Amino acid sequence: MEIYEQDHLQELIYTQLLALKKFQIALQKDEFIMPDEVMHAQRQLARHALMMEREPLVGTSVWAAAMLQPVEKWLPEAEALFDPAAPLWENNGWSREAEEFMQAFGNPEEYQEQTVAKVVTYCREFQELEGDRFQEAYVRFRSFLSDPNRAVISEDELNKMAKSFSDEFLKQQLRACYEPFPDWKEARKCPYCGWSLHHQNGLWRCGQTNICFQLEKRFSWSLQAASPFDFSDDTHVYRLRPGIQRYTLIPGIPEHRIAATLASTYPVELYPKVDRFDIGIHLANQVYYVDVKCFRRSTHLATYIEQLEEEELETFRTDACFVIPDEYTYEGYIQHLQSRIKGLGVKVYRERDFYRHLKRGELL
C-alpha cells in the first residue's frame, strides 16, 4: 500500500471513530445539536467515495447505519489496516477492532480514562523534585489496577488500598478508578481479568467488546463456566471503571506475568521512569527496557510503531524492544509485522522468543 494512501485511509477511519463518540454524547443530551465532527466525517467519507467512483453515504442516518456494518461494505480498500469483517461501532460503543485501531493510531487522551494519565503526569513531575518516592508510588498504583484480584472489591479493601498512599492526590485518583457496583449478585467473575461478566443473548460477556472471550482458546477456562462473586449480602462492592479495565487491567496482566518470569533470573523493575516503559531488566552493564504490546492484530502494532517519533524509534533499536504476549500472537504475526516495519530497524519479539534471545545475550 502506498504510504499516502495508507495515511489517508487511517485518517479517514480515525475521523469516523471520533465522530461516532461525539454523536453518542450528543444523543444523550436533552437538546440534540449535531456535532461538527459528525458533519466533517460524513463529508470526508463522501469525498473519498466519489474519488473511488462509489455512491457516497448521504445523510446522517445512512452514515450511522453504515458504521454498524462491516468496514468491507463501505471502505473495502482499508482491509490491510482494519479487519474488513468488523464494524466501527457495536454494543453501543467502539468495536474491539476500533479500540485497537485507536490505541495504535489515536492519542491516549482520546480513548483512555484520564485518571491514569493524570497520575502519570503527577508522578513524573514530582519524581524530578523528590526522587524515587513517586516512582514507587506509581508502581503500586498501577499494580493495584493490574491485579485481577482487585478488579472487583469491597469498600473496605478499596479504603485499605487508598490508605497505602501518603499522598492525598494519589488516594483520590485511586478511588476515582473504581465505581459502585450494586448489581454484583447478578454478575459473574471473569476467570481471566477478575472483572464483572454480564449476561447478554444467553451468554456471559466480559466488557462491552467481550475482550476476554478472545483469549479462551489460549487458556483452559471458559467465560460460560465463570463463578459468582462471593461477597456477603451487606457488602458495598466496587469495580474498576470500564475504561480502566480495558486499557489498564487487561494489558497489565501479561505485563506483570512477563516481569515475574524475568524476575526469577534478573533484577527487574516495573514501569521504569514512571511508565515510559513497562519493564526494566538490570543486566551487567545497563538497563534494558521492554514495552509489552497486546495488539490482537499485527496490523495495529505496525501502525503504532510507524507513528513513533525518531527519538523513540532509536531507543527500540538499541536499548529496548517490543514484546507481544504469547496469547496475542498467531502464526505469521511477526512475519506480517516485520514486512510493515522492516525499514525502521526496531526489535520486536514474541514472548517465548524474547526469553530465548535474552538468555543467549542476543538483544544488545
pLDDT for the residue 218: 86
Distance in angstroms (rounded) separating the CA atoms of residues 125 and 274 = 10
Task: Please state which CATH number belongs to domain 249-359.
Answer: 3.40.91.30
pLDDT for the residue 364: 66
Is pTM beyond 0.75 here? yes
Distance in angstroms (rounded) separating the CA atoms of residues 9 and 75 = 9
pLDDT for the residue 112: 57
Sorted by sequence, the CB contacts under 8 Å of residue 329 that are 6+ apart come out as 350, 351
Distance in angstroms (rounded) separating the CA atoms of residues 199 and 192 = 17
Instruction: Per-residue pLDDT tens, the chain, 364 aa: give them.
Output: 555 588 899 999 999 999 999 999 999 998 999 999 999 999 999 999 999 999 999 999 999 999 999 999 999 999 988 999 999 999 888 998 998 898 888 776 565 568 898 999 999 998 766 778 899 999 999 999 999 999 999 999 999 999 999 999 999 999 999 999 999 999 999 999 999 999 999 999 999 889 899 898 888 899 999 999 999 999 999 999 998 999 999 999 999 999 999 999 999 999 999 999 999 999 988 999 999 999 999 999 999 999 999 999 999 999 999 999 999 999 999 999 999 999 999 999 999 999 999 999 887 6
Distance in angstroms (rounded) separating the CA atoms of residues 349 and 354 = 5
Tabulate helix, strand, coil % of the chain (nearest 5). 55, 15, 35
Domain residue spans of the chain: 3-90, 114-247, 249-359
Cβ-in-10-Å burial (0-12, 13-18, 19+) of 37 comes to middle
Place of cell 442516518: 61
* The 3-state secondary structure of 58-122, one letter per residue: CCHHHHHHHHCCCHHHCCHHHCCCCCCCCCCEECCEECHHHHHHHHHHCCHHHCCCHHHHHHHHH
pLDDT for the residue 244: 93
pLDDT for the residue 1: 54
> Which cell numbers hold the place of 31?
437538546
pLDDT for the residue 18: 93
- Rg for the chain, CA atoms, rounded: 22
